[in-house]
Structure 1
């Protein structure tokens, strides 16, 4: 394969495709502008966070239906599953959903169900039904609704930052999706992804689809442009975020679905990790899963795949109040498809 053919294969979309969306076997390509008739970022403004209190809003919802693999490990080892081991189990389990062709998985499960019912293997049949339900729901959430990556919602949340060629630090980076979206929107910068599971470096980020297009900006013209991961300046560090050696040198510190894994006694530490590495005037971007019925159903249905460690579902007021109480000024807050999101600065 010559260079041109390789480029065509890994960069299949161009500026001519802006405004379009397409369903692919394992994800949705979406280059539609953020400001369309179905904008997903909807702010619910709170003008004064001093007026928000835990007595008024209550506490986040705790997810407490655990993965069978977690329970089995704890029974075998007679101890609680360590946080890093739980994260490693989760990453491998969750990535399997991204890698699978949901429709093909569902079709295969239907075949298994038919054979199992024909031979009266009821346990096998029940497992096939569970696979059918999970594949159907995952297909709807990730491919049809695009609620996991949610490019338009994330772009709407990230827009308007006063940065040029930013230095970005992504804590608990997993597949690094949001850093790549930021690099497309604010081109010419540099991102450091941090995760203490090397599988995230080699597989979740390392095997992220080369052909996935990110809608961003052309720095030369200010016009919309399509970007790809191999055009971005990104490094990946495998380290516990508590052991990072950086100073206050980042324009943006971002975490996606991280804060909700810390019980209240550890949330000040988690939030300090965002403040510690920010330049004066830098932006902290944080999201957490929403406390909505769909999320509660998802984490129940996918318990064996998702629930290996402490997890909360929050309203945006919960996330904002945690940040406010721990020294942040909330600049923007709102809800996207599956997450709450805030943009904040250290006070």
Structure 2
């Protein structure tokens, strides 16, 4: 426990989130009364308008805008390739390619090399050094203290399923259903999630911390459109991570309703979105070819919470962690 270690493609972090050093990453409940907040007060989210190169090429070839399913397929395949990189080895390779082009006065190769070096260093900092994508300490702080025992957890747009596994570690005996409509997420992103990655959770028998791994969890992975799921109001938690911001305002009420549709009375909706901050804007600009295949917004937690509150939820907990906003809510 209280251990952290850099692996070639991710960080192990079993440190507690309650130390004073860590509190700067957490700021829960900055809004006292959501009924008094208006869009005039908070403004609208920041739309990320830069587009991935392969999306542009696809649209030129097909003469039409890329449809949502194709966009998500491209994004998932592109994004996953960065999770599985041996980052130190990749840094060495990209530096060598850059200097080779410089030595040969190959200015096209130099220009490409600068971008490649910048992207791998940025990914190294964001994902390995800061652990801002998975952010286990921040996610544990967001998820802790919920009134559930052996919960049923539904993860909408699950991708590799990280956050549902962290919840299952914190609430042992959980039954997890992950849903994504891209088969690649089940067959590759989830299937290749490292079995050695440790999740810090709780041992209900001893009341002490315990480490869990992917294979310790009870997980069903469903490939389907969220709108076609056969489930009723049968889940204690309905979770989404980076889902709401991919839909324009006219669709957001439906997205919020997806969470309500499957919740038991008194159950929790848990949602995160990327924060609107300068670092995030720069990240999506520099990593555009990796990330920007779909409609995307960056929000403040006030904007995110107002979408959720206006569409029938009471906010139980809200705030921000490293690069994400987080909200825990119950149906009003």
TM range (shorter): over 0.9
Residues 282 and 345 in structure 1, CA contact (< 8 A), matched pair in contact too: yes
**Which of 13, 21, 24 is matched with 2:4 structurally?**
21
Counterpart mapping for 1:27-176 below 5 A:
27-37=10-20, 38-39=22-23, 40-176=25-161
Superposition TM-score, scaled by structure 1 size: 0.94
Q: Work out whether residues 167 and 189 of structure 1, in 8 Å CA contact, stay in contact via their aligned partners in 2.
A: yes
1:1-347 to structure 2, matched below 5 A, reads 18-37=1-20, 38-39=22-23, 40-347=25-332
Select between 165-174 and 97-106 the one with higher mean Cα deviation.
97-106
- 2:28 & 2:152 partners in 1: Cα distance? 27
Deviations 1:140-192 (A, max 9, x none): 11011000000000000000100000000000000100000000000001000
Contact in 1 for aligned 2:29/2:319 (Cα 8 Å): yes
The 1-side partners of 2:316 and 2:96 are apart by 52
C-alpha separation in 2, matches of 1:104 and 1:265: 45
What is the SS of the residue equivalent to 1:173? coil
SS of residue paired to 1:50: helix
What is the distance in 2 between the residues matched to 1:45 and 1:294?
A: 21
C-alpha separation between the residues in 2 aligned to 1:159 and 1:44?
15
Decide whether the 8 Å contact of 2:29 with 2:317 is kept in 1. no
Q: Which runs of 5+ in 1 are unaligned?
A: 1-17
TM-superposed deviation, 1:99: 0.7
In the alignment, the residues of structure 1 paired with residue 30 and residue 107 of structure 2 have an alpha-carbon distance, to the nearest angstrom, of 52
Q: Note the C-alpha offset of 1:44.
A: 4.0
Per the alignment, do residues 186 and 115 of structure 1 end up closer, same or farther by CA in structure 2, a change over 3 Å counting?
same
The alignment's C-alpha RMSD in Å is 0.8
In the alignment, the residues of structure 2 paired with residue 285 and residue 226 of structure 1 have an alpha-carbon distance, to the nearest angstrom, of: 23
- Determine if contact 1:103/1:135 at 8 Å carries over to the other structure: no
Give the number of aligned pairs: 330
- Give deviations 1:60-88, integer Å, cap 9, x for gaps: 00000001111111111111100010000
> 3-state SS of the aligned residue for 1:264?
coil
SS at match of 2:251: helix
Runs of 4+ more than 2 Å apart = none
Query: Which stretches in structure 2 are left out of the alignment for 5+ residues?
Result: none
